[in-house]
Structure formats: C-alpha cells, structure tokens
Amino acid sequence: MRFLFFFPGALIILFLSSCQHIEKARGSSSNHTEVMQEIIRHTVTDHQGRVLAMAFNNAKETATLVWQGETIELQQERMASGTKYSNATYELTEHKGELTLKKGGNVVFTHMK
C-alpha cells in the first residue's frame, strides 16, 4: 500500500526536477541563439527537375524563395505540426517530410524527403 503513495510522488518529483534542468540548459546556451540568427540556405528539386532555392532567417521568421526566376518573400506562421510560410499569393508548407509550394491555392512544387 505504501508503494501506491510513494511511486506517484517519486514520478512527480522526477518530472519537476527534469523540467528545471531543461530550462537551465536553454537559458545558459548563448551558442543556440547564434545558430537561430543565421540564415539557412537549402535547394531542392522536384520530380520534374525544377529547382526551388530557399533561405530561412530564423531571427526574423521569414523565408526567401527563388522559384522560376521570381524572388518570393514569405512570413512564418505558427503551426501545431510542421512549418508554414506565406504571403498574399504563395504558401510554403513542410509536414512529415513533404515540402509543398502553392500559388493562389494551387500546388506548383512538391518535394518529398
């Protein structure tokens, strides 16, 4: 019977102490902030051989795409799962390894990792 009271209490203490450890690690890492401020560049090709060049600025939460000679500026939107960048015309999403670019609601580019 004492086990029933001890075990849940031990789990709660373990959980709370691990959460504090994670917060301390996040707060003390200045290197992590520097990485977040870099611009990350990536280029992908679809099954038709078309190229999409992307540059992600994590500090500004923006993405700059070059698609068929056009430069496209997108703003990041918060999502529960995956990633989404958009403007009035274009929408770039990544979910479960599938990258999709839409123009006016129509899919114009897809790439599967």
> Is the same domain home to 7 and 47?
no
Burial of 84 (0-12, 13-18, 19+ CB in 10 A): middle
Contact between 76 and 62 (Cβ < 8 Å): yes
Residue-wise pLDDT for 36-65, tens only, equals 458 899 999 999 999 999 999 988 999 999
Please state whether the predicted TM-score (pTM) of the whole model is above 0.75. Answer: no
Contact between 111 and 98 (Cβ < 8 Å): yes
pLDDT above 90 for 91: yes
> Is the same domain home to 58 and 108?
yes
pLDDT above 90 for 83: no
Q: What are phi and psi of 48, to 5 degrees?
A: -95, 0
CATH number of the domain enclosing 75 = 2.40.128
> Is the same domain home to 102 and 70?
yes
Helix, strand, coil content of the chain in percent (nearest 5): 30, 45, 25
> Is the same domain home to 90 and 63?
yes
